Amino acid sequence: MNLFASNHTKLSSVFTSGALDVALARVEELEAQVRRLMLVQEFQLCRYCASDGDFRYYTRFPSERIFRKFWQAIEPSTSVLVYWSKAQRMGATAETGPSPPRKLPLIDEFFLYCLHTAVGLKEKVLADMFGVSTSTVSRIVITWANYLYQILGSLPLWLSQEEVRRRLPEKFREFCSDVRVILDCTELRCETPSALTLHSCTYSAYKSHTTFKGLIGVSPSGAVTFVSKLYSGGISDKEITRRSGILNILENGEAVMADKGFLIENMLNNVGARLIIPPFKHKAQFSRQETEQTQAIARLRILVERVIRRVKEFHIFDTVIPLTVAGSINQIWTNCCVLVNFQGPMELEHSAEVVAPSVP
């Protein structure tokens, strides 16, 4: 009997010791999971953005103050965001129900979108950074692209004649006092479609690549006041101007400044506007007045070129855009163009300040 009791005690001891080892291992595993979750729960924004320079790099907002003000303006409506994939399934007329629990705080979803567009980080990198799946990253990007498109699209970008004149730099008043907008186009490279017909429509001889093409309008003070949707890269500057709708908002007596490649003079005349381009002369020298006018036009042309450069500093446009995001690229393009207005004035001598519009 004593021998049985002794053996039972030894077996119990071995069993207890083994169970404790398993339990301790499980506890350590759970603690590690908790630490990882706590790391993810911490705002990623706070981990990466500690200075104004960080905010400029990671978000393209010029400072933490501007980023916070923008977030405070849009935050109240973000609580009702529905992931885009669910919104598509429900349809436009369906009643919205509660979304599944979010994997990230809303401000980090916005930060993730900024990292994708401003820095150009790919979905796999973002998934590893935020501890979520690549499919979640994709849903967040598409959701925020469409949400910001709705918010920023409601801003009154097109300035009144009075506001344009009020902000017009003094040095341009003699020759360009009636300029309402400065136009230019830019192209974004996209993945080559397999369909031959679609490829021929999107192919750009200028870029020697398949592209999307967009028209952007800038006021003489440097503010983005017009953004067209994207078209296939094969479209001409004249045709994109006609389709964009800008002719419908120009008023009689206004002037539009554009590059010599914009063959839009007749279209502008039809709506009572006129085209300003650098004067052409066959003689070797311009008159003094022509020289001053040409210099004024060239300085204003610099504005739209610098605005486009700022748009292209959103590094999502550095590489070829895959066809898988073609459904959202129009929204992303528009968002990037409008967000340029929040980056501050252009560095042009005696230029008027670019005032960021208020977010509703």
Q: Which of 181 and 287 is assigned the larger pLDDT? A: 181
Contact 246, 273 (CB under 8 A): no
**pLDDT tens digits for 334-357?**
999 999 999 987 765 444 444 444
- pLDDT band at residue 172 under the 50/70/90 scheme: confident
pLDDT computed for residue 32 by the predictor? 64
Break the chain into its structural domains and give their ranges: 46-153, 161-343
**pLDDT tens digits for 15-42?**
466 677 777 778 777 776 655 554 444 5
The vertex-306 CA angle with 301 and 309, nearest 5°, equals 135
pTM, two decimals, is 0.78
- Rounded to whole angstroms, how far apart are CA atoms 86 and 96? 9
DSSP letter at 351 equals P
120: nearest Cα among 334, 350, 317, 277: 317
Mean pLDDT of 60-79: 94
- Rounded to whole angstroms, how far apart are CA atoms 231 and 89? 27
pLDDT computed for residue 174 by the predictor? 75
Contact 173, 231 (CB under 8 A): no
Average pLDDT, the chain: 81
User: Bridge-partner residues for 211, per DSSP?
Assistant: 189
What lies within 8 Å, CB to CB, of 7 at 6+ separation is: none
Q: Which of 61 and 293 is assigned the larger pLDDT? A: 61
pLDDT computed for residue 120 by the predictor? 95
**pLDDT tens digits for 184-196?**
999 999 887 654 4
- Rounded to whole angstroms, how far apart are CA atoms 127 and 205? 37
Mean pLDDT of 247-272: 94
Instruction: State the angle between helix axes of 106-114 and 64-78 in degrees (0 to 180), rounded to the nearest 10.
Output: 120
Mean pLDDT of 75-88: 78
CATH number of this structure's domain 161-343, picked from the four choices 3.20.20.70, 3.30.420.10, 3.30.559.10, 3.30.2130.10: 3.30.420.10
Answer whether residue 4 shows pLDDT above 70: no
Answer whether residue 11 shows pLDDT above 50: no
